Amino acid sequence: MQLEHGKFCPLVQGDCRQLECVWFIKVFGTDPNTGKQVDEYGCAVAWAPTLLIENSQQSRQTGAAVESFRNEVAGNGSALLGMIAGAAQRHLHDPS
């Protein structure tokens, strides 16, 4: 069963004015809940929950990428310190 959107706008306390309203926007992209392509106009207030879900997903992905990068840098830093320590030890034993 497909539900239809109502036409009542709580901002103007009447019917939606659609393109006359600055809150009436075009949304294009992928629905984060269904994965389906979206290309339609609608009220920004009505789209807010969907856009917040997408924003949360992007934030989680960014956090995971930053953590992965940090782990790589930390691992490479340890290897670099080991190489520097080894070179210093060799220089102490053979200063020439």
Q: Does 48 reside within a domain?
A: yes
Under the banding of pLDDT at 50, 70 and 90, the label for residue 74 is confident
Q: Dihedral of CA 40/42/46/47: which sign?
A: positive
Q: Does 1 reside within a domain?
A: no
| Res 96 pLDDT > 70 | no
Residue 88, CA distances (Å) to 74, 82, 83, 92 in order: 21, 10, 9, 6
Q: Does 28 reside within a domain?
A: yes
> 11-53 pLDDT, tens per residue?
889 999 999 999 999 999 888 778 899 899 999 998 898 889 8
For 2, the 3-state DSSP assignment is: coil
In angstroms, the CA 50 to CA 88 distance is 57
User: Helix %, strand %, coil % for the chain, to 5?
Assistant: 55, 20, 25
What is the tally of structural domains in the chain? 1
The domain in which residue 84 lies consists of 10-91
